[in-house]
Amino acid sequence: MTDKYCVIGNPIAHSKSPEIHPVYAAQTGQDLVYERCLAPLDGFEATVHRLVEEGYRGANVTLPFKIEAARVCTRLEERARAAGAVNTLVFAHGEIVGDNTDGPGLVADITRNAGVAIKGKRVLLLGAGGAARGALLPLIGQGPREIVIANRTVATAEALARDFSRHGVPIKASGFAQIDGSFDIIINATSSSIAGDLPPVAPTVFGPGALALDMMYGNQATVFMDFASRHGATVRDGLGMLVEQAAEAFAIWRGVRPETGDVMKKMRP
């Protein structure tokens, strides 16, 4: 019998996930369908329970439901607990299990697709919201020399730094204007690119040979990517992160991790 999966969001028509998972299924010989599911803004929990009743095996979760998804789960994996947000649901044995594959997707895109090691590097994380929180534990797991979290509200960055300081990597908080020195890897985890805005950072944050990655993606380079490129950085958008986090979710559901190269070529010739 064909297993059913979907991505839940509002809006949802723009989601590229239904273009990704069928390729993974064909590649790995898995029998499944993957659909878009539009949930009412006040009806996420009811939507999840309906999917369980209809026999779905799991779902991805996108904006604006990732934090609410954590509350719906009967059990959270460590990555989801650390992130305080869920983007992958597993429906099995009467449980709703939540995981977060965004951070692993980001790390895989940096290390595998961009070929940049995180170990021993100085990392600047712009923003202190859910996207930044989801990225921190996988980034820490790579052994960077230091992570600096910069945010408009410094107290929010400080709270995030405290939450993750026990994992053994030096983590500092800063306002945008007070960022000290240059970095090897700069990650824009703010939502500024949606509005075509630029995080107010100085060009000096881009060290020699720096990699600058914007978690947002689109048909054109973001303002942040243009800014970073003009100041000597190699730039990436969030498409690779999307493809890699989808592969991680697929592996959770199906027990096999697909190759991502074919999807990257399909989505960005």
Helix, strand, or coil (residue 99):
strand
Q: Has 238 been labeled as part of a binding site?
A: yes
Asked whether residue 131 is marked as a ligand-binding residue, the answer is yes
Say which DSSP state 205 is in: G
Spatial separation of the C-alpha atoms in residues 221 and 224, rounded to whole Å: 8
127 known ligand binder:
yes
Nearest-CA neighbor of 140 among 166, 158, 116?
Answer: 166
The active-site residue out of 4, 66, 265, 266 is: 66
62 is in an annotated binding site: yes
Rounded Cα distance, 112 and 121, in Å:
16
Whether 241 has a binding-site annotation, put simply, is no
Q: Indicate if the alpha-carbon torsion angle 194, 197, 199, 205 is positive or negative.
A: positive
**Nearest-10 crossing angle of helices 239-254, 17-28:** 50
Q: Is 16 annotated as a binding residue?
A: yes
- Beta strands 32-38 and 58-61: pairing type? unpaired
Is 220 marked within a binding site? Answer: no
Is 43 marked within a binding site?
no
Active site residue 66: yes
Residue 87 known to bind ligand = yes
Binding-site annotation, residues: 15-17, 62, 78, 87, 102, 127-131, 215, 217, 238, 245
Residues that are catalytic = 66
Binding-site annotation, residues for shikimate: 15-17, 62, 87, 102, 217, 245
Binding-site annotation, residues for NADP(+): 78, 127-131, 215, 238
